[in-house]
Structure 1
């Protein structure tokens, strides 16, 4: 009797269980079943980790030949038709549509409210951090978002690598010289781990990630103008690790509200979207790698105007010399276009 196959599809931060498949069914049958669950048409689906002898299987390939384990999880990239018709405002991003300039008016009032500090204390006590690589003495801290910061998670591509922001590994290699690196995404831990594995971040030989933080480490705050929003309070990290503080921490995120509790430690990065159009011209990470090198000698990172990072001029400090940009490659570090 033919075995029944169940496959879990991960797409847009959610999981969909595809049941009632048999080993004789084809990949096309699987894609049709995925469309019923997600609405993404088969021709727009990219099943990134579905492989046959290291290659993407054809639509006529039988599922049984893939030798999948029960409950195998497939990471899918693909857009709904309505998303493509209005690519500038994907439905997934509707909660993010906030005027970031307006939200600055509320930062001071929110940062020190006791009710939010109490939430942070609770996260410090209850949230468990799985340390991947021990913090290093004397290093500053760089906290990075994933979606639209390091990775275009909405566009379609043959491989996840094509959706990776240009110069990601060069950027992380350079930053690792002076900073411990933490990944903080407003998604689940499993999703973070899979994305980091997909991009080759978790196994790269030239840098190491200290730990990941997921949505459970975030807190909700109420803003008079926009109501309740979720934010990433750096105080959770500072409360768990004595060596990190507002003076030596910087966070990159494409959404300003994520560092609403720590406005002086956040840098709003330009979002990386439509990878197929922007992959060859995006140089944001190269320029930010240079910025991180230039401010590494600063005693208090929170004293800097990170929103004007492109205008920063490195101040001369006694005994401090400019570093070589070896990790960026000759010429790349000078690109300020």
Structure 2
């Protein structure tokens, strides 16, 4: 995706200014790259696209652009429409590729202030035209690499990693010490009824490394269908909560429509905001932190195994209120 000349402005037919695409030239480490962005994208979204072509993680990037105030470029929430991008200017990115990541870097951004969105906010976000357009662009841009074939007749379980399957902030001599208790038993039981996709808001290199260290990728009792990383996420905006990233399940459904849809998919994540484009499919799992203290008593995956198996025969999982999963399990087990 190297660029030999200056960037060109691509005015594609659209119903709004926010849908106009700009092919932006980005210079990094002596080479020119191109990324396609829209005016309604944020700086955070731009960094994600730059990461896709350079492998420099967004948190490691510093962007420079003529006539753009540094304060705006340093904020991931700044919309590109506020930067007045022009084809005659080239953006410069300063950053370093992380080649040897053993554990998730301690300075990685951590979201602990998850928030509750009102029903009106959720409806507005998932139905907003600009967010649907972003999802469609991500579907076209992101390629899902299958590790194992999708299985006809199986439902889909999508799992987060950090604080869902793994305590990525505590220290340990062996990664196994930070693995959530009963992880392999949980995945083995779920695999009987569900295909399993792992989706993390980190880089693919980190996803592969951690899942490999935990023995998830080569376990004889279950198979992982695919791994997704932060590049599959999209940025959305809420009037009450501002700009944030989320995980749109519509990306998976669009890539594998013959297997997965809103009726047969459930997603576990410790952050409610990640469900905003598909709130009826999300279950908020209790975060697994301080593994050295809690691994002896944490039974979240045991209880969720019962829930997954109890709902596996239902025709439409999206009709369930996953906030009440524990009460449902007690009634049906």
The TM-score normalised by the length of structure 1 is 0.67
Q: Please give the alpha-carbon distance, in whole angstroms, between the structure 2 residues aligned to 1:211 and 1:121.
A: 20
Q: Secondary structure at the match of 1:207?
A: coil
What is the deviation of 1:14? 7.3
- How many equivalent residue pairs? 239
Matched, 1:97 2:124: no
1:309 aligns with 2:325: yes
Distance in 1 separating the partners of 2:103 and 2:152: 39
**Which residue matches 2:100?**
73
Deviations 1:188-229 (A, max 9, x none): 111100010011001101000000111111000001111000
2:251 is the counterpart of 1:236: yes
TM-score (norm 2): 0.67
Q: 2:278 matched to 1:262?
A: yes
What pairs up with 1:51-70 in 2 under 5 angstroms?
none
Equivalent residue number for residue 194 of structure 2: 179
Distance, in Å, in 2 between the alignment partners of 1:103 and 1:157 is 39
C-alpha contact 1:103 1:257 (8 A) present in aligned 2: no
**In the superposition, relative to structure 1, how do residues 228 and 315 fare at CA in structure 2: closer, same or farther (>3 Å)?**
same
CA contact (8 A) 2:188 2:222 kept: yes
CA positional deviation for 1:96: 4.2
Q: Give the number of the structure whose alpha-carbon radius of gyration is greater.
A: 1
Q: Paired residue for 1:135?
A: 150
Cα drift, residue 103 of structure 1: 4.9
In 1, Cα distance between the equivalents of 2:267 and 2:130? Answer: 23
Q: 1:54-102 deviations in whole A, cap 9, x for unaligned?
A: xxxxxxxxxxxxxxxxx9725147868xxxxxxxxxx832x441322x4
Q: Could you list the per-position Cα deviations for residues 274-311 of structure 1 after superposition, in whole angstroms to 9, with x for gaps in the alignment?
A: 00010000000000011000000110000000011001
- Aligned to 2:225, the other structure's residue is in SS state strand
Decide which moves more: 115-124 or 202-211.
115-124
What are structure 2's unaligned runs of at least 5 residues?
Answer: 1-56, 61-97
Of residues 103-112 and 160-169 in structure 1, the stretch that sits farther from structure 2 once superposed is: 103-112
Matched residue SS, 2:109: helix
Q: Structure 1 regions of 5+ residues with no counterpart?
A: 1-11, 16-70, 81-90, 317-333
d(CA) in 1 for partners of 2:186, 2:297: 16
| Matched-pair contact (CA < 8 Å) for 1:171–1:289 | yes
Residue in 2 aligned with 1:248?
264
Partner SS state of residue 212, structure 2:
helix
Does the 8 Å contact 1:149/1:253 carry over to 2?
yes
- Contact 1:221–1:228 (CA under 8 A) maintained in structure 2: yes
Quote the Cα distance in structure 1 between the aligned partners of 2:331 and 2:224.
29
Cross-structure match for 1:296: 312
Matched-pair contact (CA < 8 Å) for 2:182–2:301: yes
- Name the CA shift for 1:13/1:124 in 2 (closer, same or farther; >3 Å): closer
Indicate the residue corresponding to 1:158 in structure 2: 173
Alpha-carbon shift at residue 116 of structure 1 (Å): 1.0
